[in-house]
Structure 1
Amino acid sequence: MTSMHYQYLVGLTTVSAIISETCAVIWKKLCPLVLPSTINTEEWQRIAKTFSNTWNFPHCIGAIDGKHVVIQCPNNCGSMYYNYKNSHSVVLLAICDADYVFRFVDIGAYGRRSDGGIFKDSIMGIKLENKQLHVPEAAPISDERETPLPYCIVGDEAFPLTTYLLRPYPGKQKITPQKRIFNYCLSRARRVIENSFGILVSKWRIFRKPIIASVLNTTRIIQATIVFHNWLREDDLNNCPNLSYVEPHLVDRESEIGSVVGGTWRDITGTTAFSDITRADTNTSTRTAIEVREEFCAYFNNEGAVSWQNDYL
């Protein structure tokens, strides 16, 4: 904003106001078109089918993760935005589909909070808990299994294990090979949210370094980039001529033997506005949630196995 203030010879406050108002209008107009607040059952099933075809993970309707968006210290904020990495931040929590399209976002939570706590108190978390998002009913995951399994989102250790959210088995050395295979399969599906955040950093230069703006303006900037991302990504998926927002080399991809070829977004070096949230949530879970994960684990070790998975234990 300071460089624009000098470049265009307008007041710094005016620059800030223009950016804030413009981002607010972008969010207001595009959000209903590219980030609707509700998804019908048929669309959830289409998302699940894409996850199954692309990442061999059936009944997956999204991948969830959060990022600290590093900001300058807000005025009179106390310790609310001060996170455990010794910086000030707001949290961007997002669920995306297998096509790198954001489906739900929660923007602006205090940096001191954990992913799991933010998700639990967010509108999307509350609606998932109360079964208000039109998610398809539980159904058998394959012809060989009669036990109905719910449709789930996948996340990392920062999130709680529930019947609608799968997380990895905790620990790396003491778990069985079967559980390691489940963790591997889950990490493959969860990679889409990492790629989605990587696309944001690559394409939107505002995220290349900590954001110097008020909390309100930072939130509006993030909102504008999210809806622009979805708008451009949907043009990609509709084969819009002369437009390629996400080039194949930009995101992580797999070789024929299952090894990961890192996307070019990982080549971005130095400090960016995004930092990981690594504080783990509680490992306590309901018996039903544990049984659901066990059923998925059994599936991936039998009829749902991919030929190379034992090479990555």
Structure 2
Amino acid sequence: MFLRVCGHNEVQRDVGLRFGRNQETVNRKFGEVLQAMELLAADYIKTPTTQKLHRIPQRLQADRWYWPYFSGFVGAIDGTHVCVKVKPELQSMYWNRHDYASINIMAICDMNMLFTYVWNGAPGSCHDTAVLSLTQNGDSEFPLPPTDKYYVVDYEYPNKQGFLAPYRSTRNRVVRYHMSQFYTGPPPRNKEELFNRSHASLRSIIERTFRVWKKKWRILTDFPRYDMDIQKRMQILWKIL
């Protein structure tokens, strides 16, 4: 019943009819399984230790497209929006640039498309840079990379120690970054665009991971039916299965 609700976003009334149970039973069992999943998530996602971050990912080393140019890579960071149901007085806080209310989730994944860190709770109106600052200031377990390592991030994040962002366009010069710009346009025109193409290709692993998980759990993308507390707890689905 829990999987029908989360995987297909079915209402509890329909789930009860499918399994021959009343709605009270479905609601109670949904809560019990959700609580068990929260305990399971603590075992499934482990914040990488400094020793682990020093290791070179085997898939990275075996890929001639990235190695040895991104030898310091330890993961990719990005944010995504998940629909939320909020009270009318809170809508302005959670309303994002895509014109719907959401929670902004920031995650880190490795070369195997596995989440190594997930942080949620920021209102949808928050910029990615603000979410990163909130995470680093609010979570002492945030896995900062060693001095010779870094996460790849897009141009919305700062380019600083531990975070490798692409070259940005300037007022007098356009520097392409997105892969779609290279697919439909000419090949890289300079060293900055050559770097950006490889950088965007490597960073796309986090975007692919987000797409896989959103497709698997429709409750994260369709119109939400639960209050804010339940919805925040539902973010464990990013960590398991």
Tell me the TM-score normalised to structure 1 length. Answer: 0.59
What CA distance in whole angstroms lies between the structure 1 residues aligned with 2:89 and 2:103? 15
User: Is residue 93–residue 107 contact of structure 1 (8 Å, CA) maintained in 2?
Assistant: yes
Shift of 1:18: 4.1
* SS in structure 2 at match of 1:79: helix
Residue 10 (structure 2) pairs with residue 10 (structure 1)? no
Classify 1:154/1:134 alpha carbon distance in 2 versus 1 (closer, same or farther; 3 Å). Answer: closer
Shift of 1:164: 0.6
Give me the identity figure in percent: 23
What CA distance in whole angstroms lies between the structure 2 residues aligned with 1:47 and 1:94? 20
1:19-74 CA deviation, whole Å, 9 max, x = no partner?
A: 3442232122332x22123x223321335453343451211011011111122343
Aligned to 2:219: 206
Aligned to 1:171: 169
**Which of 124, 130, 144 lines up with 1:111 in the alignment?**
124
* SS in structure 1 at match of 2:122: strand
Superposition map of 1:1-313 within 5 A: 3-8=11-16, 10-11=22-23, 15-16=26-27, 18-31=29-42, 33-37=43-47, 39-46=48-55, 48-54=57-63, 56=66, 57-74=70-87, 76-123=89-136, 133=143, 135-136=145-146, 138=147, 150-171=148-169, 173-175=173-175, 177-223=190-236, 225-229=237-241
User: Is residue 49–residue 58 contact of structure 1 (8 Å, CA) maintained in 2?
Assistant: no
What CA distance in whole angstroms lies between the structure 1 residues aligned with 2:36 and 2:225? 21
User: Is residue 151–residue 164 contact of structure 2 (8 Å, CA) maintained in 1?
Assistant: yes
What CA distance in whole angstroms lies between the structure 2 residues aligned with 1:22 and 1:111? 27
User: Is residue 86–residue 228 contact of structure 2 (8 Å, CA) maintained in 1?
Assistant: no
User: Is residue 12–residue 23 contact of structure 2 (8 Å, CA) maintained in 1?
Assistant: no
User: Is residue 20–residue 217 contact of structure 1 (8 Å, CA) maintained in 2?
Assistant: no
What CA distance in whole angstroms lies between the structure 2 residues aligned with 1:211 and 1:127? 31
Task: Structure 2: state its 5+ residue gaps.
Answer: 176-188
* SS in structure 1 at match of 2:192: helix
Classify 1:133/1:112 alpha carbon distance in 2 versus 1 (closer, same or farther; 3 Å). Answer: closer
Classify 1:28/1:72 alpha carbon distance in 2 versus 1 (closer, same or farther; 3 Å). Answer: same
Tell me the TM-score normalised to structure 2 length. Answer: 0.75
* SS in structure 2 at match of 1:67: strand
* SS in structure 1 at match of 2:161: coil
User: Is residue 150–residue 163 contact of structure 2 (8 Å, CA) maintained in 1?
Assistant: yes
Aligned to 2:182: none
* SS in structure 2 at match of 1:153: strand
What CA distance in whole angstroms lies between the structure 2 residues aligned with 1:90 and 1:186? 27
What CA RMSD, in Å, does the superposition of the two structures yield over aligned residues?
A: 2.8
* SS in structure 2 at match of 1:118: helix
Shift of 1:92: 1.4
What CA distance in whole angstroms lies between the structure 1 residues aligned with 2:102 and 2:219? 15
How many residue pairs are counted as aligned between the two chains? Answer: 210
